[in-house]
Amino acid sequence: MELDLQCYSVRTDLAVESKEMINSLEPAPIPGVVEDISQEDGIKITRLDVQNEAASQKIGRVVGHYVTLEVPELRKGDTGLQEHVATVFAREFEQFMQHIGLGPHASVLIVGLGNWNVTPDSLGPLVVENVMVTRHYFELMPDRVAPGYRQISAVAPGVLGVTGIESSEIVQGIVERTRPDAIVAIDALASRSLERVNTTIQIADIGIHPGSGIGNKRRGLTKDILGIPCIAIGVPTVCYASTIVNNAIEMMKNHFGSDSKQTGQIMGMLNEISEHDRLALVKEVLEPLGHDLIVTPKEIDEFIEDIANIVASGLNAALHEAVDPGNVGAYTH
Amino acid sequence: MELDLQCYSVRTDLAVESKEMINSLEPAPIPGVVEDISQEDGIKITRLDVQNEAASQKIGRVVGHYVTLEVPELRKGDTGLQEHVATVFAREFEQFMQHIGLGPHASVLIVGLGNWNVTPDSLGPLVVENVMVTRHYFELMPDRVAPGYRQISAVAPGVLGVTGIESSEIVQGIVERTRPDAIVAIDALASRSLERVNTTIQIADIGIHPGSGIGNKRRGLTKDILGIPCIAIGVPTVCYASTIVNNAIEMMKNHFGSDSKQTGQIMGMLNEISEHDRLALVKEVLEPLGHDLIVTPKEIDEFIEDIANIVASGLNAALHEAVDPGNVGAYTH
Amino acid sequence: MELDLQCYSVRTDLAVESKEMINSLEPAPIPGVVEDISQEDGIKITRLDVQNEAASQKIGRVVGHYVTLEVPELRKGDTGLQEHVATVFAREFEQFMQHIGLGPHASVLIVGLGNWNVTPDSLGPLVVENVMVTRHYFELMPDRVAPGYRQISAVAPGVLGVTGIESSEIVQGIVERTRPDAIVAIDALASRSLERVNTTIQIADIGIHPGSGIGNKRRGLTKDILGIPCIAIGVPTVCYASTIVNNAIEMMKNHFGSDSKQTGQIMGMLNEISEHDRLALVKEVLEPLGHDLIVTPKEIDEFIEDIANIVASGLNAALHEAVDPGNVGAYTH
Amino acid sequence: MELDLQCYSVRTDLAVESKEMINSLEPAPIPGVVEDISQEDGIKITRLDVQNEAASQKIGRVVGHYVTLEVPELRKGDTGLQEHVATVFAREFEQFMQHIGLGPHASVLIVGLGNWNVTPDSLGPLVVENVMVTRHYFELMPDRVAPGYRQISAVAPGVLGVTGIESSEIVQGIVERTRPDAIVAIDALASRSLERVNTTIQIADIGIHPGSGIGNKRRGLTKDILGIPCIAIGVPTVCYASTIVNNAIEMMKNHFGSDSKQTGQIMGMLNEISEHDRLALVKEVLEPLGHDLIVTPKEIDEFIEDIANIVASGLNAALHEAVDPGNVGAYTH
């Protein structure tokens, strides 16, 4: 049975989903994958370490540290919950920076990947528009910068189809000229599960890898390429139709439950084959007919604005000591 | 076996899809449903008459005349094809008006239903913005209106959640004050098939009925309510996740083909139960888990703009004799 | 000397500016015009009553009650000040409603005049988008509406050039069907002074008159036409180039001060002729050369969004007892 | 008399306006400034060479080659005229490239300066969005690029207040990584005359200098800094209020004409002092009162879209031999 998953084949960019799929096949713990889950006020936080190459092969994710916030209620548009998530995100992001050794004075370049004009791909540019940038004050009037602020710059490099240049090349050029200590890259992701779309935030120290994200970003933004740590913040905003179908069949299988004979009667071979094979089957059927589109919830305009505000507010509070998570909202518009 | 479909239960607003579903169960002709299909240059045109109440019950659509243009390639963004579709749409719409007895001088109020700020629901307001309105010239300087123009007005009444008023009430108030001879209402629809989303235009003389469209428009815009003919132009821009899944299972069933025993082995009972029951099953599984979202293709921003231009250009050419389908694009921006 | 000003000739929609111009010519009190000015925290509040026809002729404004908030600092984008202005506006608007006899249960239709797609004219539609509407709850589930809420609906009727219908006719149709107790109409205005643009809010019980506003709204929204009280909320967002020039010459005249002989040497006849004649002169020069454009500050995108939020927040607090001016911001996005 | 103008003191970014102002003071030819004016179909084309430092000092513009297209009717929104202007602009731009020695295979990086979210400053980003980029095809599949196409990339670097990085630094980083043969930078400018706003296009081989443009771009994009030719395309989209006033006084002076005694009676000393001194006077009066705002015509949303389309269409035709000026519109949306 094929268990080594590749990111593309399952079409998810979320480590928690990769882990979930492995576990659905093999409930046993995976050596080299350490997971810690906590719950608070409707937010599920999963801290997941992929510790070595063997674990990476098994789970289909790059070696690294992943923190995921899942907030199913986020879709309801409750302003109070949004502020709470921004605060928790700020705390987790601050710990994450400490975890990878970034001190309170490390300068950061925030990179908003994606396309302004494609709503589900506009998360990165929207966050860039809403974060507090301070680098120019440090450059132009260093004596007048109040304590508690870090040197922050932010760019939205655009997408290959619009610029003709890989966003990683643009970022590399800017890094070489402005010499930040670290990159924080924000990108819209694909999930295998519609319910995670616009309700999940993933932080990872792995940078951006070819094939992740929903656009075309072949070269990646990684420590190997850029020479500085690169934290990736991702929010799933889309699903492939085929993964919706595949996931629904999985849910139906679970719905009919443990009596595999009965489930087999209802679902035939669909009950028996691996998720991987079943997805291949679904794709084989849908693709030639033009049905394997990438989709996003109808309410995407509002979702994307809300989640961009959460990420921007959270980053402002996490990056600047002087910004209080309590009044986090005031620094963005 | 339950064959009388209701619009909501199958979650499609397209007559061609209702017909298709009935036919998948009963290949025999349906008495009182007359269909005429033609093909030209990548456009499939279906003219469908639901002639009586029995046929209406059977097919789950209101008695009336439906013309559907399906253009699978429309999604590729080819400007030339878009102009061709606008021209064909103009011709079909003109014939449609003649068919229901609207002469060249009948004044028309174009109603763009939906919500500016929800991209997949913004078709109506976008069309309103791009059609040529002339009513004010007829009112203010009737002597100076060139021949070949009809009296056209256009409104986007907004949605209940924003206005607190049913859009049908707003339209009724405007109709009573401005006395047009007919209504043309444009609305975004739901399809059961992702491939029809943003590639299909339906013209129908049935007006807008409660429960159609993707928003909340409970009271409807119909000849009964408004006292004047009401033509509905609909473009599917969204699907329910459950109908994507259900439709995919149908496609898998067809994929494995005519050997029902083998298909049964692969798909179990899913092969045997009716589409209606299967959809109920899918919904039963997805809904409690928050998976039965309404979704739209990732590229919706561009699609909706393109299709709004096609509909607006087509209407301009169809409604005004002086506007030539050849230079149809020049009247919108 | 010509002293009776007409609204158009001086190209202002603000009563305080009309008063100011008269006073620059005749410093004596105007019979029938009662003015009360107060200052609080950077907000100048002028309550002005035009009590009779003679006063109306003199001052060039319709008989009625005008309240104007002037906040020069509003242009600086300070969030705290914006919230404060919303609170003061809410208080003034509440008093205004009491003043004209509208009780706490009077239902209100908010009308957002103007054009979505012309930024300086988009104030009305933006406010409509951000006010809390409740009428549908009163209609659909009257038992479940919490106490402290009033029945509110809101429409953005569009502009004549887009709809082909006077906005007053659309509103009249909606009023006849939905029977509100009062209208609150929001419109972008023209000021004679650039400094008042985007820093001033005028409340008046006179409705909307032909020729006011920056668009074409010939028929007006008044108690005479609609049969119910009509409160107009206006914010100047534009100036004519000619009034900027004329106003600047006035300022230069004041700058050189009381020694009229010296000022006469510097400015010649420009110092002597009336404001009215000078404006005519400026227009005579600028118009044929295409220079008498209507202009708006470069930062209009941000200004209009900020001021729309202030007006919407203020209306929400003023119209619903249950909405606290303190947390006024939470009800809009 | 002070005749050496500095760009800032007269607040224009247009060479034709600097020339015009000098000539209003000294009608004699300026040594080292060569001007060639032609007219065709409502387009006035001025080719102006500032040949040496003395001329540069005199006229207040950098040494270089300037081509200006003035189209007063452009403001009327006539689609036919817009296409014609795009064609003429394409021809002039092609000649301009030849003039400065850029061959048909020189690769070009198009830089769209300015801010997406400030309408009058969004010209650059809008052009970037609408030009055809091809560099990625040359990089990824060089064998498959059709003849007649040049290697084009395009970026919108954002503004200092949003990114914290000078746009020149961002561009420099990208130039170092991608090694284009030339830069074409598009920027919104300030004009001293409202009538030139949105009706004028300037092409210059001088790059972008500190203080030009309507935003903050202190370091500039020049051949000295970047090591490659840098063509600037500028369109005035704003005016200072003080220059509107000053310009109007000039027009009034011209209006009253050659009898300087009479004009002196009407306008006093305003008739006698130099433009430079008069502007200082106007600024002295307006600035303290908050009246010296930068303004833009009310219709800026539509103007900016139209002119961005003209520039993008023209660039597409000028940069790619395979793109025919006749069907120039088809390559943008």
**Between residues A279 and D93, which one has the greater pLDDT?**
D93
| Residues D235-263, mean pLDDT to the nearest whole number | 80
- B331 domain residue, yes or no: no
Residue numbers of the domain that contains C118: 5-238+299-324
In this complex, do D298 and C295 lie within 8 Å of one another by their Cβ atoms? yes
What pLDDT, on the 0 to 100 scale, is given for residue C2? Answer: 32
Which pLDDT tens digit goes with each residue over B222-263?
A: 998 999 999 999 999 999 888 888 888 877 777 776 666 777
Mean pLDDT (whole number) for D225-244: 92
C-beta atoms of D251 and C214 within 8 A: no
Average pLDDT for residues B118-138, to the nearest whole number? Answer: 95
Quick one: tokens of B297? 């293709």
pLDDT (tens digit, 9 = 90+) per residue, B177-206? 999 999 999 999 998 888 899 999 999 999
Question: Same domain for B179 and B279?
Answer: no
Contact criterion met (CB below 8 Å) for C270 and C247 = no
Q: Are residues B280 and B309 in the same domain?
A: no
Report the complex ipTM.
0.89
User: Among C129, C135, C149, C165, which would you mutate to test the B interface (most chain B Cβ atoms within 10 Å of its Cβ)?
Assistant: C165
Would you state the pLDDT for residue B328?
43
Cα distance between residue A53 and residue A62, in whole Å = 8
User: Does B263 lie in the same domain as B204?
Assistant: no
Q: How far is A81 from chain B (nearest CA, A)?
A: 18
- CA of B269 vs chain A CAs: smallest distance (Å): 4
A329: helix, strand or coil = helix
Does any domain span residue C331?
A: no
The chain-wide mean pLDDT, for chain A, equals: 86
Token pair for B174: 């405007």
Give per-residue pLDDT as tens, B44-80: 999 999 999 999 988 888 999 999 999 999 988 888 9
Among B165, B216, B316, pick the best mutation site for testing chain C contact (most C Cβ within 10 A). Answer: B165
Does a structural domain hold residue A74? yes
Question: Cα separation of A202 and D185, whole Å?
Answer: 37
Contacts of B330 in chain D (CB under 8 A): 79
The minimum CA-CA distance between D333 and chain B, rounded to whole Å, is 9
pTM of the model: 0.91
pLDDT class of A187 with cuts at 50, 70, 90: very high
Distance between CA atoms of residues D330 and D332, nearest Å: 6
Write down the pLDDT at residue D2: 32
Query: pLDDT value at position B69?
Result: 97
d(CA B128, CA B186): 9
Residues of chain C with Cβ-Cβ distance to D290 below 8 Å are 72, 75, 194-195
Residues of D in contact with C248 (CB under 8 A): 241-242, 245, 282, 285-286, 291
Closest CA of chain C from D227, distance in Å: 34
Same domain, D170 and D197: yes
If one counts the domains in chain C, the total is: 2
Q: So what's the pLDDT on residue D5?
A: 37
Query: Domain containing B35 — which CATH number?
Result: 3.40.50.1450
pLDDT score at B5:
37
Q: What is the pLDDT of residue D329?
A: 43
Decide if A173 and D173 are in contact by the 8 Å CB cutoff.
Answer: yes
The H-assigned helical ranges of B149-236 are 160-163, 167-178, 223-226
CB–CB of D165 and A156 under 8 A? no
Q: What does the block give as tokens for A150?
A: 């870090």
What does the longest C-alpha to C-alpha distance in chain B come to?
75
Please tell me whether residues B80 and B11 are part of one structural domain. Answer: yes
The answer to whether residue B304 is domain-embedded is yes
Contact pairs from chain C to chain D, CB under 8 Å:
146
Chain B residue with CA closest to D305: the answer is B333
**Above pLDDT 90, what percent of chain A?**
56
The pair phi, psi for residue A293, each rounded to 5°, is -75, 160
pLDDT, tens digit (0-9, with 9 covering 90-100), for A1-15: 233 333 334 567 888
Query: DSSP per residue over B89-100, as a string?
Result: HHHHHHHHHHHT
- Touching subunits of C (3+ CB pairs, under 8 Å) are B, D
User: Quick one: D252 and D313 in the same domain?
Assistant: no
Question: Is residue C110 in a domain?
Answer: yes
Distance from C-alpha of B54 to C-alpha of B63, rounded to nearest angstrom: 9
- Domain membership of residue C205 (yes or no) is yes
User: Between B79, B330, B333, which is nearest D330 by CB?
Assistant: B79
CB-based contact B152:B132 (threshold 8 Å): yes
- Specify if D333 maps to a domain: no
**Co-location of D234 and D247 in the same domain:** no
Q: Is residue A109 part of a domain?
A: yes
Chain B residues with a Cβ under 8 Å from any Cβ in chain C: 116-117, 128-129, 133-136, 152-158, 160-166, 169-170, 172-178
Same domain, D200 and D265: no
List chains adjacent to chain B, taking adjacency as at least 3 C-beta pairs closer than 8 Å: A, C, D
Quick one: pLDDT at residue B286? 76
| 8 Å CB contact of D129 and A173 | no
Position A89 pLDDT exceeds 70? yes
Claim to verify: residue D186 and residue D216 sit in the same structural domain:
yes
Chain C residue with CA closest to B137: the answer is C164
A169-178, C250-259, D246-255 — which one is most confidently predicted on average? A169-178
Report CA D101 to chain centroid distance, whole Å: 21
Q: Among C89-103, D15-29, D190-204, where is mean pLDDT lowest?
A: D15-29
Structure tokens at B119: 């991209």
- Spatial distance between the Cα atoms of A171 and A177, rounded to a whole number of angstroms: 10
What is residue C52's predicted lDDT score, i.e. its pLDDT?
94
Put simply, the answer to whether B298 touches A252 (Cβ < 8 Å) is no
Q: Let me know whether B155 and B280 are in one domain.
A: no
* Same domain flag for C158 and C252: no
Predicted pLDDT of residue A333: 37
pLDDT of residue C7: 36
- What does the pLDDT average to over D166-181? 96
Range C183-202 average pLDDT: 92
**Residue B109 and residue B37 share a domain:** yes
Which pLDDT does position B6 carry in this prediction?
Answer: 39
A154 contacts D162? CB cut-off 8 A? yes
Q: Comparing C-alpha atoms, which of C254, C260, C97 is closest to residue C183?
A: C97
Q: What is the DSSP string of C235-253?
A: EEEEEEHHHHHHHHHHHHH
Q: What share of chain B is helix, strand, coil (3-state, %, to 5)?
A: 50, 20, 35
- What integer is the mean pLDDT of D124-143? 93
Please report the pLDDT score of residue C10 as a whole number.
54
Band of pLDDT at residue B332, cut at 50, 70 and 90: very low
